[in-house]
A and B are shown apart, each in its own frame.
Chain A
Amino acid sequence: MASLIRRTLLLRTFCRAKRFTCHSQYVHQESAGAERMSNSSKESNETHFGFQTVKESEKADKVYEVFEEVAQSYDKMNDAMSFGIHRLWKDIFVDRLAPSKPCKILDVAGGTGDIAFRIAKYLRNSDGGGITVCDINQAMLDVGRKRASELGFSGMEWLQGNAECLSSIADNTYDSYTIAFGIRNVTHIDKALKEAYRVLKPGGQFMCLEFSQVQNENLRWLYDQYSFQAIPVMGQLIAGQWKAYQYLVESIRQFPNQEEFAGMIERAGFAFVRHENLTFGVVAIHCGHKL
C-alpha cells in the first residue's frame, strides 16, 4: 500500500499535466517476464516491410539496403520532406531529455548524428564525450562521423550495432537511451525495448521520437495524400530513390499508434511511461524510466 502511494505521488510529479498523457496501467505493472510480441504473423516468421510481407530474416537486410541507398542525401531529404520541421522536433526531443552532466548517453539508430550533436550542444560539451552513437548501418555512421569531425565533436563514440542485440554493451551502462526515427525500422521492436531496458542504469531514462498516428481524421487524410503522392516523387527527384521513400512512408503506417507503443514500452519493464504528440500526432515522444 505504501509503495502504491509512493508510486502515485511520483506519477503526479512526472505528469506535468497538459504536455504528457500518463498511462495508469503502469501502477499495475506486469512483471518483466510477461511479454507479448505485437508484430503480425508470428507463427509463419513473416513480418511487414512497408506494405509488403517479407520473411523476418530478410527484413533487416532490406532495411539496411534502404538506408545504404539514402545515406548520402538523408539530411537533405529530411529537410525537404518535413519543410525543415524535423529540426524543431529534434530540438524539442533533446529539450525533453534535459541531459545533465556527468552522463553517459546512448543514441541508437543515430546514424547521421542529429540527436547526438544536439545533446552535445545542450550539455555545452565541446567534444561530445560521454555520447555513443549506435547504428546498424555503416553508411549512415560514416556520414555522421564526417559531420562530427566538421563540427569538432571528436569525443563521440561511433558504434555499429543492432538495436535488437547490443551484445557489445554491458548491462546497466547508460544514464539515457535515445532512439529517434529508428525504432519503426527494427524487425522485433520488443527485443529492442528489452535491450534498451538492459543497458540502462537503474533510474535511467528511455526516450523515443517516432512517427505516430495523426489524431484528427481530416488532417490524417491530408497527411496520407502528402505521404503517398508527394514523398516518393521528392525521393526520386532529390535522392534518385523512389522505392526507399515509399518504404519509409509505408513503415510509418505499420508502426503501432501512441497507446499501443506505450503499452509495449511498459511490457519491456519501463515505468512512468508517457507520451507527447507533436504536430497533431505526426510524431510522438515516448518516455519511460527504469526503476
Chain B
Amino acid sequence: MLKLINGRNWYAACVFRRRIVTSSEKLCLKAEASSEEDSTGADNPYFADFQKFHIEASPAQKLILSLGSAITTLLNPGRPDALGVFGETSGHSALQKMHEKMMMSSEGQLILTDKPRINSSTVDLNCLKKLPPNTLGRTYIKFLEENNVTPDSRTPVQFVDDIELAFVMQRYREIHDLVHTVLGMPTNMLGEVAVKWVEGIQTGLPMCVSGAIFGPLRLKPKQRQRYVNSYLPWALSTAANAEFILNIYFEKRWEQPMGELLKELKIEPFVES
C-alpha cells in the first residue's frame, strides 16, 4: 500500500512538481498523534494543552512582559523562556498574517485542522532511524543526534489568547529543528542567524527579526566575514523564494527524499563561497 501511494505521489511530483499530501498517510507517528477526529473543538488534544498553559494577562501586563523579556533576552541569552515570552507578547499581528497564509494553502489548512504536535511522544524517533538515507525523516534524526538536541525542548505557549493563533505559535516553535534540517543549517551562531532571517522574513515575527538583526553582533570577526559573504545573501534569497515554512506538513513527508523536497520547496542548498 505504501509503495502504491509512493508510486502515485512520485508520478504526481513528476507531472505537477508538487507532492500531494493527504490526511490518510501515516508514517512514524505514535498512536495518540494519528487520530483523525474532527479536531476543531474540545476533542483535539491541543485544546487541553492550551487550557493547561494559558495565562490571562491584561494588555498592560503584556506590554511590560514584552519590554522586559526583550531586555532579558539581550542581556542573558541563556533564558529561552524569555525569548518565548517576547515572541508571544509581541507577535499578535504577525501570527494573524501567518494564520491567513496557512489558510490560503491546502497543506496549511490540513495542519490547522489536525493540529499535529512534534515531540517524542507523537513522533516515533526509532522508526525515523530506520528510514532510507537522504529522506527527510532520516536527515532530521541525524540532525538531532549531531547537534545533541531533542524535540521536547519547546516551551508551551502561554500568553496568546486565541487558540488558533496559539497553535500557530506552538507549531512555529516545534518545527524550528525541522527548518534547520531542511535548510541544512547547523545550530551554531551562523546557522541560527541564517535560520532567523528566513523565519523572520517569512513570518514577520518581531522576535525572529530582532534575533536576525542583533544576533550577528555576537559574531567574531572571521565569522562575520563568512556571514556577510555567504550566509546572509543565501538566507535572504531563500526567504524570498522558498515556500512558507509553516505550510509544510513535515509529519506526512518523512519518507520523501531530501532532493525532491528541496526542489518542491524551492530551497537552494547552501554553498559557502
Contact = CB atoms under 8 A, between A and B. Distances in A.
Interface of A: 229, 232-233, 236-237, 240, 242-243
Interface stretch (B28-36, B62-70, B137-145, B233-241): B62-70
B55 A240 contact: no
Nearest to B158: A242
Contacts, number: 25
A233 B82 contact: no
Contacts of B85: 236-237
Interface string B59-96: 01100110011001000000101100100000000000
B253 to A, nearest CB: 34
A242 to B, nearest CB: 5
B148 interface: no
Given A237-B65, A237-B69, 6 more contacts: A229-B61, A236-B65, A237-B72, A240-B81, A240-B82, A243-B55
Given A242-B55, A242-B158, A243-B55, A233 B61 contact: yes
The 4 tightest CB contacts between A and B, nearest first, are A240-B81, A237-B68, A233-B61, A242-B55
Contacts of B81: 240
Contacts of B60: 229
A230 B182 CA distance: 42
Of residues A233, A236, A240, which shows the largest number of chain B Cβ atoms within 10 Å of its Cβ?
A: A236
B173 to A, nearest CB: 16
B153 interface: no
Contacts of A229: 58, 60-61
A157 to B, nearest CB: 35
A237 B67 CA distance: 10
Interface residues of B, number: 15
A243 B158 CA distance: 11
Nearest to B72: A237
B90 to A, nearest CB: 14
A225 to B, nearest CB: 11
A236 B72 CA distance: 11
5 contacts: A233-B61, A233-B65, A236-B65, A237-B69, A240-B82
B14 to A, nearest CB: 50
B56 to A, nearest CB: 10
B174 to A, nearest CB: 19
A229 B56 CA distance: 11
A201 to B, nearest CB: 47
Contacts of B82: 237, 240
Nearest to A246: B55
Interface in B157-201: 158
A240 B78 CA distance: 12
A54 to B, nearest CB: 15
A259 B64 CA distance: 37
Nearest to B63: A233
Contacts of A242: 55, 158
A233 B68 contact: yes
Contacts of B69: 236-237
A49 to B, nearest CB: 16
A279 B81 CA distance: 34
Contacts of B68: 233, 237
A142 B190 CA distance: 38
A136 B64 CA distance: 34
A100 B227 CA distance: 67
B19 to A, nearest CB: 40
A243 B69 CA distance: 17
Nearest to B62: A233
A187 to B, nearest CB: 23
A229 B62 CA distance: 11
A229 B82 CA distance: 19
A240 B58 CA distance: 18
Contacts of A237: 65, 68-69, 72, 82, 85
Contacts of A240: 79, 81-82
A236 B53 CA distance: 13
Contacts of B72: 237
Contacts of B61: 229, 232-233
A229 B81 CA distance: 20
Contacts of A233: 57, 61, 64-65, 68
A18 B138 CA distance: 76
Nearest to A229: B61
A229 B58 CA distance: 9
A243 B85 CA distance: 14
A229 B61 CA distance: 7
A247 to B, nearest CB: 12
A16 to B, nearest CB: 44
